[in-house]
């Protein structure tokens, strides 16, 4: 059975893929930029969480806890 992916989800996955190749400091700047839409900022946050950006050592936490810790470290 084939699953149909919505356009919104495809756009989000494309943003995550494109953000993956960006340096971390550019992603942090994108998080603080208010001219970007929420989906683009969420894609940047998702990549930063995957990189454990702002944390002193690899955390080993689950994604929701890592996301909360990265947001707190970045002040977002």
> Could you read off the pLDDT of 6-58 as tens digits, one per residue?
888 999 999 999 999 999 999 999 999 889 899 999 999 999 999 888 887 77
Most confident of 3-7, 13-17, 59-63, 67-71: 13-17
At 55 the pLDDT is 83
**Degrees to nearest 5, angle at CA 51 with 69 and 68:** 15
Residue 1 pLDDT level (bands cut at 50, 70, 90): low
Specify the DSSP class assigned to residue 62.
Answer: -
Residue 67 has pLDDT above 80, yes or no: yes
**Cα–Cα distance between 3 and 34 in angstroms, integer?**
34
**pTM recorded for the entire structure:** 0.85
């Amino acid at each position: 059975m084939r699953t149909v992916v919505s356009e919104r989800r495809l756009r989000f996955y494309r943003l995550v893929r494109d953000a993956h190749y960006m340096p971390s400091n550019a992603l942090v700047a994108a998080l603080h930029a208010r001219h970007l839409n929420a989906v683009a900022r969420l894609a940047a946050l998702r990549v930063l969480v995957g990189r454990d950006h702002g944390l002193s050592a690899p955390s080993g936490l689950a994604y929701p806890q890592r996301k909360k810790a990265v947001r707190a470290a970045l002040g977002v």
